Structure formats: C-alpha cells, structure tokens
Amino acid sequence: MSEIRLGVLALQGAFREHIAMLKRLNVEAAEVRLARELDDLDGLIIPGGESTSMGLVAERWGLVEPLRRWVHGGKPTWGTCAGMILLAERATGQKLGGQALIGGLDVTVNRNYFGRQVDSFEADLDVPALGDRPFHAVFIRAPAITSVAEDVETLSTVAALHDEDHSVIAAVRKGPILATAFHPELTDDLRWHRYFVQMVKDSKSCAG
Ligand code: GLN
C-alpha cells in the first residue's frame, strides 16, 4: 500500500496516461467517475482532453458540485491542460457562457491560446521547482494563463504565440492547487508527477 491514494478524473481525455505515470511512482491511483469515489482520496488530477466535453459530462453525472467542494475545500488538485481550464476562475475563448466550471484558482486562462493556429508543439521549459534540467513539454491545442492573482506562484513560462520576446504562463501553483497548460503524462519525465505527489504528502502530514 502506498501512503497516499490519488484519483484521476476519468470522464474524458488522457486519464489513463496519468494513472500509468503514478503507478511508475508506486502511488495508488484510481479512476474517478462518481462523487463518492472522491471520499477516500488524498489528491485529484483533472486531465487534459476537451474542457467543454469534460464539463458537460461532469454536469450530467452530478459531479460539478462535489468537485467544487473538493477543490474549494483545499484538497490537493492538479489540472493539466483542459483540467487547468476547469480550475481557472476566469476563462476567455469559452464556448459556453464564459464561466469557469470548477474554479478555485485565481487566474485567467485563454482556452485555446495556442490552439487556433498551432495544434500541437513541444518546448523545453525552465522549471526551477523541478531542478536545473529543462522540462520537455508537450502542448496540444493548449491554453495559456494570461493573468494571475498576486498570491499565485508562476512555476514556468513559454514563449508567446508569434512573439518570442514575450512569454505567457504555462504552470502555476497556489497552495494545494497545481496547474500546467501542457501534458506531462505524455512524456517519460516523472518530475511533475513526483512534485504533485510531494504536495499531496505535505498536505496530508499537515492535516494529520
Ligand atoms: N484547449 C482545450 C480545451 O479547451 C484543451 C486541450 C487539451 O487539454 N489538450 O479544452
């Protein structure tokens, strides 16, 4: 038994890949489709995929309120790509209403910042929190964070679209919430998963 138990929201998108990464770290990981499956978890990953579809399925299955309670209750949560969009308090480029579905992270995301023109690209990011070696990040129809509240920590940036002299934010942390615009579960590099596992362990030892 691992000391923590993580869940990966499994409504749509790249949830299997996250579970495979966690298994490589010997962390117990379960697919989450029902509200009650959140009950005995120490942390949750909301994967990449398509935020509108994921939101619709979450609504249909009665998961929106339980997920809000989970995130707003301070439980460790990591959103990757579409998952990051769902955690944002504000989103631009939304298909529906423009309202964040789960919220909790005080940032503005542009939902398809890189998506309209470049479907997918890869970039080596400096991420001091992960050490000296750059992280090779895979961006797929990726969002970007265009503004953050003062107390949100920027963990990494990436060159802005069409403007190498400027950057947009690609990864942030605020307390127990982690968000990345790219897909660490589609690489071989376990460092982001290890980072989140450590966040969950720290939160558990504080709580308990
Ligand atoms: N831009 C997509 C969305 O709106 C997210 C893409 C992804 O998760 N790879 O949901």
CATH number of 5-207: 3.40.50.880
DSSP helix/strand/coil, 21: helix
Q: Where are the domains of the chain?
A: 5-207
Residue type (1 letter), 27: V
The SS3 call for residue 170 is strand
pTM: predicted TM-score of the whole model, two decimal places = 0.95
Q: pLDDT averaged over consecutive 10-residue blocks of the chain (208 residues)?
A: 89 97 97 96 97 93 96 98 96 66 95 79 96 97 95 96 86 98 97 98 86
Q: Phi and psi (nearest 5°) for 2?
A: -80, 160
Residue 150 designated active-site: no
Give residue 160 CA to ligand 1 midpoint distance, Å: 17
Q: Does the beta carbon of 143 sit less than 6 angstroms from any atom of ligand 1?
A: yes
DSSP string, 112-155: TTTTTT-SEEEEEE--GGG-SSPEEEEEES--EEEEE-TTPEEE
Q: Is there a contact between 168 and 146 (Cβ–Cβ < 8 Å)?
A: yes
